[in-house]
Amino acid sequence: MPGVRERMRPPAGAASECAVSASARVGAPAREVTIVAQDIGGARGMERVLSELVLGLVRIGYRVTVVARTCELPDLSGVAFRRVRGPARPFLIAYPWFVLAATLTLRRWRRGVVHVTGGIVLNRVDIIAVHYCHQVAVATPSRSNWVFRAHNTLAGMLKRFGERACFRASRASAFVCVSEGVADEIRVHYPQLVDRVLTIHNGVDTDTFAPDAHRAPAHELRAQLGIEDTRLVAVFVGGEWKRKGLRHAIDALALAPEWDLLVAGGGYEKDYQQIADSIGVGDAVHWMGSVREVQVVYQMADAFVLPSSYETFSLVTFEAAASGLAVLATPVNGVRELIEDAHNGFLITQEPDMIAARLRDLGADPELRARLGRAARQSALEFSWASMVGKHQRLYARLAGETD
């Protein structure tokens, strides 16, 4: 992979897996951490969070070992990347393959405190980061084809089984959840872990996602899409469009004709364009596909809308808030820890009537849009990358037995 190279280091000798894990808890070696994930870096939310955690730890002096299938970082200085080779899809093959391969890789290359993202290894580890509780949150298939439904059902069963097996095998000292909502879900479905569950919120890049930071390229992009300067634009960012409520956002346009909708993320555009055409708003929906420089997308908009049925943290909502947008979002996990209704955004339902009513309120009152955007920005500043990295560093130090 361009920009990524593997650097080998001598094996850990005859030390057993349990002995290495135990040594991490008593402080030897100090300021080393091994992070295990399927993928690190890239455009997707969890992968971006992991890349910032790795780079942040390196900046404060940690030696980081990454065990992953892919690792896209701008600078691997201070990072030892141990590649787990195997297929990325289909999930029913890729997931069990990764669990077995990563378990063997981690057994050889673990260093210091071991931090694993989800139920993906069968080793004993120190921390499991929980971005998603698979016992409660089941993704919906994007299409109704029986093949998709069958795959979704089998994948859900495998995720739930794998999560339980890996959690049990880990004997982790801490289960770190990305929101209070996810922490509550883990306490309900894994009551034996209650005293080991805590929350460290994901961070957001409050420098990259900032008001007016990318106005010039955003203006050019609006022009390329044929969006007139006089039009108001709501932005929807993300995949899994059925779960995140894209249909509801499109339906709301019919009741808020002064607004266009900008969609950034991968999905079945043709299907949703047909929905938009059928209700007479086809020209008001603009498709951008998957976008790496998503910060520019927020600057093209006047509001952010996410009528999702389920989230774990909703990084895109935090990015929109940091960008100074008025936020319209359902009170799902993460969102309700950021948005206070009518103070820094609006908490909405999935009803198109309600979404449209809030859009009309924002359209009629530019000062309301500006006030909500300013307040959203202030709230997002509390969730910086530095704050996230610092909380992890303190947890690692505690688990490693550091007293200074």
Closest CA relative to residue 350, chosen from 371, 367, 368, 328: 328
Residue 334 to residues 18, 213, 231, 313, Cα–Cα distance (Å): 35, 25, 30, 4
Q: Which tens digit of pLDDT belongs to each residue from 65-102?
A: 999 999 998 766 779 999 999 999 999 999 999 999 99
Q: Which tens digit of pLDDT belongs to each residue from 261-286?
A: 999 999 999 999 999 999 999 999 99
User: What are 286's strand-pairing partners?
Assistant: 262
Residue 144 to residues 148, 290, 383, 404, Cα–Cα distance (Å): 7, 23, 38, 57
Structure tokens at 128: 């499991």
Mean of pLDDT values over 46-67: 94
Q: How many whole angstroms separate alpha carbon 57 and alpha carbon 19?
A: 24
Q: How many whole angstroms separate alpha carbon 148 and alpha carbon 143?
A: 7
Percent of the chain topping pLDDT 70 = 89
pLDDT of residue 28: 37
Q: Specify the pTM.
A: 0.84
Residue 245 has pLDDT above 90, yes or no: yes
Least confident of 1-15, 186-200, 248-262: 1-15
List of domains in the chain? 17-200 (3.40.50.2000), 215-382 (3.40.50.2000)
pLDDT of residue 143: 56
How many CB atoms lie under 10 A from the CB of residue 228? 8
**Residues 297/300/304/310 CA torsion (nearest 10 deg):** -20
Q: How many whole angstroms separate alpha carbon 285 and alpha carbon 260?
A: 6
Q: How many whole angstroms separate alpha carbon 337 and alpha carbon 169?
A: 32
Mean of pLDDT values over 220-246: 93
Q: Which tens digit of pLDDT belongs to each residue from 190-232?
A: 999 999 999 999 999 999 999 987 777 888 888 899 999 899 9
Mean of pLDDT values over 158-167: 97
Residue 228 to residues 225, 234, 282, 297, 303, Cα–Cα distance (Å): 9, 14, 16, 16, 16
269-278 vs 246-253: helix crossing angle, rounded to 10: 30
Sheet holding 113-117, edge to edge: 79-83, 63-68, 32-36, 113-117, 127-130, 174-177, 197-199
User: What are 68's strand-pairing partners?
Assistant: 83
For 113, phi then psi, to 5°, come to: -70, 135
pLDDT of residue 379: 97
Mean of pLDDT values over 341-350: 98
Q: Which tens digit of pLDDT belongs to each residue from 293-329?
A: 899 999 999 999 999 999 999 999 999 999 999 999 9
Q: What is the DSSP letter of 295?
A: H
Q: Which tens digit of pLDDT belongs to each residue from 94-131?
A: 999 999 999 999 999 999 999 999 999 999 999 999 99
Q: How many whole angstroms separate alpha carbon 8 and alpha carbon 23?
A: 22
Residue type at 136 in one-letter notation: V
Residue 168 has pLDDT above 70, yes or no: yes
On average, the pLDDT of the chain sits at 89
Q: How many whole angstroms separate alpha carbon 367 and alpha carbon 362?
A: 9
Structure tokens at 148: 């998709």
Binned at pLDDT 50, 70 and 90, residue 48 comes out as confident
Percent of the chain topping pLDDT 90 = 77
H-type helices in 279-338, by residue range? 294-299, 315-322
